[in-house]
């Protein structure tokens, strides 16, 4: 019985400190980030563009009116939204505290020596470059998924991704 009580106390104490940390971090980040509204507008524009493309395809192409195509579109957009949200804490310039912390954790707890050496010798010294590359890669993944573009920026078609929403030129 005492073990359960102490475990409950530890879990409650941990949850309280995590919530306090999140609250403090968000207040600091809200104060420091001047581009917050830019990314909100960018996200809303991406979702609106995806809705417009889906609606246009739905209207003009009867083969797109299946549950498989709608489900593929919904899942693709939701995964793109998760990538978009995940890249926001890696906004470069200045170096994000969270990104620096987790990269440091990779160096401390790497499973392999070559991975530890890579993180210690390359990632950490050039973190400002790595963070920018990671941010740009993740925002590109998010944009591609939300809009339905492949890696080259061209629309998905039946040969590159079966079942994806095909883009048609609108007049």
**What would the pLDDT profile of 117-133 be if each residue is shown by its tens digit?**
999 999 999 988 889 89
Q: How confident is the model at residue 161 (pLDDT cuts 50, 70, 90)?
A: very low
- In sequence order, what are the residues at sequence separation of 6 or more whose Cβ sits closer than 8 angstroms to the Cβ of residue 168? 56, 57, 60, 61
> Please, which residues have CB within 8 angstroms of residue 146's CB and are 6 or more apart in sequence?
46, 47, 49, 50, 76, 77, 80, 81, 84
Q: In this model, does residue 9 exceed pLDDT 70?
A: no
More confident residue, 43 or 33: 43
90-120 per-position pLDDT tens digit: 887 777 888 889 899 999 999 999 999 999 9
- Residue 17 binned pLDDT confidence (cut-offs 50, 70, 90): very low
Please check whether residue 97 is in contact with residue 29, taking contact to mean a CB–CB distance below 8 angstroms. Answer: no
The stretch 138-162 carries a mean pLDDT of 69
Pair of tokens at residue 83: 């990538």
Residue 43 and residue 40: Cα distance in Å, rounded?
Answer: 5
DSSP 65-77: -SHHHHHHHHHHH
pLDDT, position 31: 56
Percent of the chain with pLDDT over 90: 31
Burial of residue 110 (number of CB atoms within 10 Å: 0-12, 13-18, 19+): middle
Scanning the structure block, which residue is given the tokens 């793109």? 80
Q: What does the domain layout of the chain look like in residue ranges?
A: 33-147
- Please tell me the predicted confidence (pLDDT) of residue 26: 53
Q: Which pLDDT score, from 0 to 100, does residue 80 have?
A: 93
Instruction: HSE, CB side, 13 Å, CA atoms: give it for residue 164.
Output: 23
Predicted local confidence at residue 137, as pLDDT: 92
Residue 58: predicted pLDDT = 84
User: 149: which strand partners?
Assistant: 155
């Amino acid at each position: 019985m005492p073990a359960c009580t102490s475990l409950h106390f530890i879990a409650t104490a941990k949850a309280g400190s995590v919530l306090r940390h999140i609250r403090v971090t968000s207040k600091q980040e809200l104060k420091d980030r001047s581009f917050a509204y830019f990314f909100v507008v960018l996200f809303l524009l991406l979702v609106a563009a995806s809705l417009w493309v889906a609606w246009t395809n739905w209207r003009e192409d009867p083969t797109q009116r299946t549950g498989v195509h709608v489900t593929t579109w919904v899942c693709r957009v939701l995964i793109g939204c998760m990538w978009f949200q995940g890249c926001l804490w890696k906004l470069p310039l200045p170096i994000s505290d969270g990104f620096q912390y987790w990269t440091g954790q990779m160096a401390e707890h790497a499973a392999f020596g070559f991975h530890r050496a890579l993180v210690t010798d390359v990632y950490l010294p050039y973190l400002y470059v790595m963070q920018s590359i990671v941010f740009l890669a993740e925002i590109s993944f998010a944009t591609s998924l939300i809009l339905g573009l492949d890696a080259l920026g061209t629309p998905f078609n039946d040969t590159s991704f079966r079942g994806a929403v095909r883009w048609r030129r609108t007049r």
